[in-house]
């Protein structure tokens, strides 16, 4: 399967209604509801110790981040220090132990608590089964700059489970 076909399949298998893209600019975390542009989805490979399969990451360049900050729908979440601290507290409360370094969960926690007014708890529910957060009846997949969007293995599992 070509990478472009994998990207198409990933889009079609998405459970969430919309994507909330999060990123930082000058130490401030931002979120914006947007479609992921093909130019932001970069082909990569897992390490050979993990099988060396294809994967995709979301990568924004400085011009992309600057343009997104200036869009009308861009929301300032807070400083990255504030967001990281809130994530660490929420994780410790939910799991009773120190939070691992996970920028995806930092953003997911910020969106859930600051924009959704809900209590965030960590989970590992895959993209084809549920959104990361539901706000006002709309399911959002929360993704951060640098986030893994899919692995070949995960995408194949989604395709099998969903009969794609």
Read off the pLDDT of residues 65-109 as tens digits, 9 standing for 90 and up: 999 999 999 999 999 999 999 999 999 999 999 999 999 999 999
Burial class (CB in 10 A: 0-12, 13-18, 19+), 25: middle
123 — pLDDT class (breaks 50, 70, 90):
very high
Tell me which residue of 117, 112, 115, 75 sits closest to 91, measured CA to CA: 112
Q: What is the pLDDT of residues 16-26, one digit of tens each?
A: 999 999 999 99
Tell me the pTM: 0.94
In whole angstroms, give the CA distance from residue 43 to residue 65: 20
46 — pLDDT class (breaks 50, 70, 90):
confident
Within its chain, how far is the Cα of 34 from the centroid? 12
Contacts of 17 (CB under 8 A, 6+ apart): 131, 138, 139, 140
Length of the chain: 164
| pLDDT reported for residue 91 | 98
């Amino acid at each position: 399967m070509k990478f472009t076909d994998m990207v198409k399949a990933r889009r079609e298998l998405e459970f969430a209604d919309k994507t909330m893209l999060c990123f930082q600019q000058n130490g401030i975390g931002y979120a914006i509801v947007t479609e992921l542009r093909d130019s932001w989805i970069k082909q990569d490979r897992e390490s050979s110790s993990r099988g060396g399969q294809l994967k995709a990451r979301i990568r924004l360049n400085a011009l992309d981040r600057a343009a997104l900050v200036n869009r009308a729908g861009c929301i300032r979440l807070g400083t990255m220090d504030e967001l990281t601290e809130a994530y660490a507290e929420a994780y410790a409360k939910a799991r009773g132990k120190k939070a691992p370094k996970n920028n995806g969960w930092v953003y997911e926690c910020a969106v859930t608590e600051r924009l959704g007014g809900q209590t965030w708890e960590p989970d590992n529910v895959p993209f084809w089964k549920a959104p990361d957060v539901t706000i006002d009846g709309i399911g959002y997949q929360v993704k951060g700059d640098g986030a893994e969007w899919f692995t070949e293995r995960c995408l194949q599992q989604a395709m099998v489970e969903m009969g794609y």
